[in-house]
Amino acid sequence: MKLIGIDLGTTHCKVGLFDEKGNMILLEKQTTITHQSREGLLSYAPEELWGQVYGMLKQVIKAAAPGEIAAIGIASMAEAGLLVDKKSGQAKTEIVPWYDRRTMPQYDRLRKEGDEYTLFTRTGLYPSYKYGLAKILWFMEQNPSLLANAIWLSPADYIAFRLTGKYGTEHSLAARTYAYRIDQKQWDREWLAAFGLKEALFPVVGESGTPIGEVQMELGFPAGIKVAVAGHDHLCAALAVGAIRPEVVFDSIGTAESLIGTLEERQLGVEEYHSQLSFGCHLIPGKMVWIGGLSAAGGSLEWLRKQLGGEALSYQEIEDLLKQTGAEPTGIIYYPYLSGSGAPERDPRARGALIGLRAEHGKAELLKAVLEGTAYEMESIRRAAQKVIKQEIRQLVAVGGGTRNQVWMQIKATVSDCLLTIPPVQEGTLLGAALVAAVGSGIFANAEEAVANLCFEQESRVVGPCPAMKEKYRVLYEQGYLELQKPVRRYAHLFP
């Protein structure tokens, strides 16, 4: 028995073939082709994306014996989407990426139209230009006729439709539209009506991994392969590495960094709202997720790498410099707000800062200070989440390019006073999508069983806090980073 995962990501599209133990048999990977208009609008071409996925899927299916593939699970970036004609199945628009900023005027409209707190208790979100509803409003304002007989689909929903001929989505992707009531598991009819929109614009929502249908025979693939929308890409990756309990949090470290945790389903209220975390539907029934992030984690290191004079430092040179600094904190406070700040103090006007510099500080100390500052900021998110879930977070499961930096991982473990586990999973989103589809198809009873069944050849790398440095970092974080944060934020607001 084999499983297929599809990952429709911001930079790459991937298709992977796995056995039920989680071992990857074959990986196909292509760059996600991004188009830019003269006006600077960014998009993906639906037919082009489908062509890429179809070609990769053909190669992956060839690698399995006839009748061996049980299910296909599809994960995608969460807030991207397009309008499709319900009857013909033809794309009516391009796919708008989550990060395209054409929808800033619609974001202002969302903020003015509804009560932020009330909508948060229903959607788990704060208004943003990223969400699907803002994109729909943009299309409606450009050409109202686009909405006639239309359906809004995420990239995962769209590829599932092209494979099966049927429309459908699941809760975690629906929850990133700002049009879905996570408290009632249904589209928010009242909120949609404020914009003249109806529930019929959106697909039916089912549990993550529930088969939407089977692969259409005319595609030339073997009959009987079930296809499911697995969900939000980050959540699929978290499931693949076993970060599905409240005390174990998923830490995705790249240019940006996100912490994603699990909690029991609940009605959101004042405490959750003031945490500034966003909330949504989990892939596991009865569970919710909380999400907090930093837009410039690895991005801060990349920024400094290019500013230190001459040719940009190589990553090996950075590693060598960092190793010269020893275990002691630098004493420099860095605020990683190069693009504003998120939870627990959302502020798009926030500015980065380096405080505490001395003449003896050089490249190595500046580089380490940047890593310390990102660790302090993520510690603020971890503490905010602990208050909300009423449970101590004791383990971070880290994935992404940042995990290769050993000094950074040690700093993170010490600042958070947590075990930091780096699993041997190279394609977590793909594997998670495949596992979610396997659960939905009845191959496993639940996600916990699917994860427990995984068996990897390599062991996870575990980094523990440095006992001699824990207290020093705690004092610097609580009496330095937190205390100086307010004047740094006030300073940023002197600028328009």
Q: Are residues 19 and 38 located together in one domain of the fold?
A: yes
State the pairing for strand pair 35-36/42-43. Answer: antiparallel
Same domain, 294 and 204: no
User: Does 55 share its domain with 25?
Assistant: yes
pLDDT score for 306? 87
What strands, in cross-sheet order, belong to the sheet with 287-294?
Answer: 278-281, 287-294, 257-264, 248-253, 395-399, 419-422, 461-463
Domain range for 478: 242-422+466-496
Chosen domain end from 217, 235, 253: 235
Q: What pLDDT sits at residue 309? A: 72
435 in a structural domain? no
Give how many domains the chain has, as a whole number: 2
Per-residue model confidence (pLDDT) at position 118:
98
Last residue of a domain, one of 175, 201, 235: 235
Q: Is residue 345 in a domain?
A: yes
* Residue 326 is assigned to a structural domain of this protein: yes
For the chain of 496 residues, list the mean pLDDT of each consecutive stretch of 10: 96 96 96 95 98 98 94 97 98 97 95 96 96 98 98 99 98 99 98 98 98 96 96 96 96 93 98 98 97 93 86 86 94 96 92 96 96 98 97 96 94 98 94 98 96 88 97 98 95 90
Contact 488, 335 (CB under 8 A): yes
Residues 63 and 111 placed together within one structural domain of the fold: yes
Asked if 18 and 106 sit in the same domain, the reply is yes
* pLDDT value at residue 456: 82
Quickly count: other Cβ atoms within 10 Å of residue 3's Cβ: 29
pTM score, whole prediction: 0.93
Among 235, 257, 291, which residue terminates a domain? 235
| Rounded Cα distance, 25 and 11, in Å | 22
* 224 found inside a domain: yes
For residues 491 and 393, state if they share a domain. yes
How many other C-beta atoms are found inside a 10 Å radius of the C-beta of residue 385?
A: 24
Residues 262 and 286 sit within 8 Å (Cβ to Cβ):
no
What's the CATH number where 62 sits? 3.30.420.40
